[in-house]
Amino acid sequence: MKKNVAIGFLGVNLDKGKGPKRWEGWRPSVDLCNQSDLIIDRFELILDSKYLTIAKQVKADIELISPETKVVLNEVNIDNPWDLGEVYEALFDFADLYRFDTDKEDYLLHITTGTHVAQICLFLLNEAHYLPGKILQLSPPKRGKTLSVGAVSIIDLDLSKYDAIADRFERERKSDTAFLKSGIHTRNLHFNAMIDEIEHVAIRTQSPVLLMGPTGAGKSHLARRIYELKKRRHQIEGKFIEINCATLRGETALSTLFGHKRGAYAGATKDRDGLLRTAHHGMLFLDEIEELGMDEQAMILRALEEQTFYPVGGDTHVKSRFQLIAGTTADLVKLVSEGRFREDLLARINMWSYSLPGLKDRREDIAPNLDFELSKFSAANHRKMSFNKEARQAYLKFALSAEARWTANFRDLASSVTRLCTFAQGSRIDLLSVEKEVERLKNLWRFNRENNFEEILLSVMSPEQLDLIDPFDRPTLSHVVTTCQNTNSLSEAGRVLYSVSRCLRKTTNDADRLKKYLAKFSLSWASLVNT
C-alpha cells in the first residue's frame, strides 16, 4: 500500500484556535486528518515562521486525533502571500528540493487553506508536473454540525484522462489545420505534415517564419491564414501588413518601410509612419524578400533585433514589435554565397522555414483543389458550377499528366477554373469546354517555355542577332548561356556542359570547345558574364 502524503499551507485564519473551544470550529488541516475513509500518513504543512505557534498547536492536535499521521512543519517565508511571483517561486523551490518518491507515496495537494494565490500556484505547479499528485479540497461541515467532519473531494489534474477534454483539444487542433488549408482535404503526406507542424509552431512562436516555394504555391495565402489563426487564438492584436519587396525601389523604399519625418527630402510634406510601424503588435509579410536592397536588409535586421528603428530624417527611434513572415521564390543560401543577400538576415529569418511544394509535386491534391476552386467561383458568382462526369475525368486526366506543367501552380489552376466557369453555358462544364481549356493551357505553357529561351538570349544579344538563330539552336544556346552565367570560369562551364563526352576523351579541352561553340553565335565568355 502506498502512503498518503498531504501537502498544504497552514490556514492562518481557518486553522487558528486556542483552548477547548478550538474543537468547535472547523479547522481544515485538522479535519483532513480526521476522515474515516482517508488516512493521511504524513502531512507536509507549509507555513511562515510568524505562525509557528498556530502550526505547533495544529500539529499536536492532528497527532492527538490521528496518531498514524506524522506532521512535518516546513517553514517557507513569504513576505506577501498575495504576490503570485513570490509565492510561485517559493513553492517552486520547495518542490525542487523536496524528495518525492512517487513509487511509494501518493501526494495530495491540499488547497482549502492558504490564499487564493497559493491555491493557484499549487494548481500551476501541479499542472506543469513540478508537484506530482492530485489536488484535494475539503468543504466545511453542514451548518450547525460543527463537530462533524467536512467532505473531501480529490481532483486529478491529468487532463489527458478526461476523454471529453482530450477530444475537444483534438477537434480544435484539427479545425486549426483545416483552417490553414482553407478546408481543402489535401492528401499529399508531405504537405499535410508540414501544415500540422505550422499549426503547432504558429500559435506558439513570435519568431520570424520563412515561406519558400515557387510562384503560386500558396505562400501569400498561407501567410494570411497564419495571421488569421493567431488572431482567432488571441495571439496577435495588430494588423496584417503585406508588401511585395519587388515593388520597393529607390529612395521611397526606405520611407515606405521605416517612415519619414516631414522635410526629410523634397516631397516629404508630412510625417509618414511606414509599414514597420503600422505592423506594430501585428504581422509584417515581406513577400519576395530577396528583392530587398542591401541597405534595407541591414535596417530590417536591426529593427527585428532591437524592435526599434529610425525613420528617414528622424533622430528619435520608433518602437515596433511585429512578427515577420517572409516569402521567397529564390534560393537564399545561394544568394548569400553570391553576396546578394545578407547572411545574418537569413540566419535571423530562417528559424522556422517551410518549403511549399508546387502543384506538380502535389498531384494528388489537384482534385480537391479543383473542387475548392469550383465552389469558390460558385460562391462569388451565385451560380452552382459543376462538371459533367466525362468532362471532369478528361480535365483531371490532363491535369495529372506529365504534359501539364502547372508553371504558376495554384494560380494556374485558379485561372483555369475561372475560364472554364466563365465559358460554360449555364452551370455545367462539358467535355467540349474542357478540350478547349486543355488546348489553352498547353499553349500557355508552350509559350512560356519559348518565351523563356528568347528572354535569356535577348539578355546577351540584340533582337537582330536573335533573328539569325534557328529555333533548333535556341534551347541549347540559352542553356549554355545560363550555365556560363552560373559558373566561375570558362573551364568550369565547359566541364559542366561536356560532362559526359569529356570522360570518353583522352585529353580534355572543354574550355576550347565551349569557346568555339559560342563564337559560332558571335558570343564570348566575357560578353556573357559581363551583362
Ligand X SMILES: Nc1ncnc2c1ncn2[C@@H]1O[C@H](COP(=O)(O)OP(=O)(O)O)[C@@H](O)[C@H]1O
Separation of alpha carbons 487 and 496, rounded Å: 9
| Residue list 338-397, contact with ligand X (CB under 6 A) | 372
Q: Give the SS3 label for residue 172.
A: helix
Q: Minimum Å distance from CB 342 to ligand X? A: 23
Alpha-carbon gap, residue 212 to 3, rounded angstroms = 57
Given candidates 192, 215, 418, 465, which one binds ligand X under the rule CB under 6 A? 215
The interface partner of residue 348, options being ligand X, Mg ion, none and the CB cut-off 5 to 8 Å by kind, is: none
Judged by beta carbon, residue 15 or residue 287, the one nearer Mg ion is 287
Q: How far is it, in rounded angstroms, from Cα 58 to Cα 30?
A: 7
Give the cell for residue 496. 559542366
Q: For the chain, what's the residue count?
A: 531
Q: Specify whether the CB–CB gap between 261 and 279 falls below 8 A.
A: no
* Least spacing, CB of residue 364 vs Mg ion, in Å: 23
Residues between 175 and 204 that touch ligand X (CB under 6 A): 181-182, 184
Q: Which is nearer to Mg ion, 70 or 224 (CB)?
A: 224
- Minimal CA–CA distance to 387: which of 221, 184, 407, 398? 398
Q: Does 350 bind Mg ion (CB under 5 A)?
A: no
Burial class of residue 307, CB neighbours in 10 A (0-12, 13-18, 19+): middle
> Which strands, in side-by-side order, build the sheet including 323-328?
240-244, 283-287, 323-328, 209-212, 352-355
Residues 295-314 as x/- pattern, contact with ligand X by CB under 6 A: --------------------
Minimum distance between the CB of residue 215 and ligand X, rounded to whole angstroms? 5
**Residue 137 bridge partners (DSSP):** 153
DSSP assigned state of 37: T
Is residue 24 helix, strand or coil?
coil
**In the complex, least distance from residue 240 CB atom to ligand X, rounded to whole angstroms:** 13
Residue 411's binding partner among ligand X, Mg ion, none (Cβ under 5 to 8 angstroms by kind) is ligand X
- Phi, psi for 47 (deg, rounded to 5): -150, 160
Binding residue (CB under 6 A) for ligand X from 35, 188, 205, 220: 220
**CB nearer ligand X, residue 104 or residue 185:** 185
Contact criterion met (CB below 8 Å) for 279 and 243: no
Q: What is d(CA 69, CA 90) in angstroms, rounded to the nearest whole number?
A: 25
- The interface region with ligand X, picked from 219-227, 232-240, 430-438, 496-504 by CB under 6 A, is 219-227
Amino acid at the residue 115: T
In the complex, minimum distance from the CB of residue 197 to ligand X, in angstroms, rounded to a whole number = 15
The partner in contact with residue 57, picked from ligand X, Mg ion, none with C-beta cut-offs of 5 to 8 angstroms by kind, is none
Q: Which does 242 bind (CB under 5 to 8 A by kind): ligand X, Mg ion, none?
A: none
Within positions 398 to 427, which residues make up the interface with ligand X, using CB under 6 A? 410-411, 414
SS3 of 311-373: the string is CECCCCCEECCCEEEEEECCCHHHHHHCCCCCHHHHHHHCCEEEECCCHHHHHHHHHHHHHHH
**Block residue for cell numbers 491564414:** 225
Query: Which of ligand X, Mg ion, none does 181 bind, CB closer than 5 to 8 A by kind?
Result: ligand X
Strand partners, 272: 260
Q: Which is nearer to Mg ion, 40 or 248 (CB)?
A: 248
Nearest distance in Å: CB 410, ligand X: 3
One of 78, 217, 420, 528 touching ligand X (CB under 6 A): 217
Binding mask 221-240 for ligand X (x = CB under 6 A): x-------------------
Cβ-based nearer residue to ligand X, 141 or 368: 368
By CB under 6 A, how many residues form the interface with ligand X?
16
∠ CA 455-465-471, rounded to 5°: 65
Find the binder of Mg ion among 220, 235, 483, 485 (CB under 5 A). Answer: 220
Between 426 and 455, how does the x/- string for binding to ligand X read (CB under 6 A)?
Answer: ------------------------------
> Residues 6 or more apart from 467 whose CB is under 8 A from it?
none
Q: Which is nearer to ligand X, 195 or 264 (CB)?
A: 195
Residue ranges binding ligand X (CB under 6 A): 181-182, 184, 213, 215-221, 327, 372, 410-411, 414
Residue ranges binding Mg ion (CB under 5 A): 220, 287
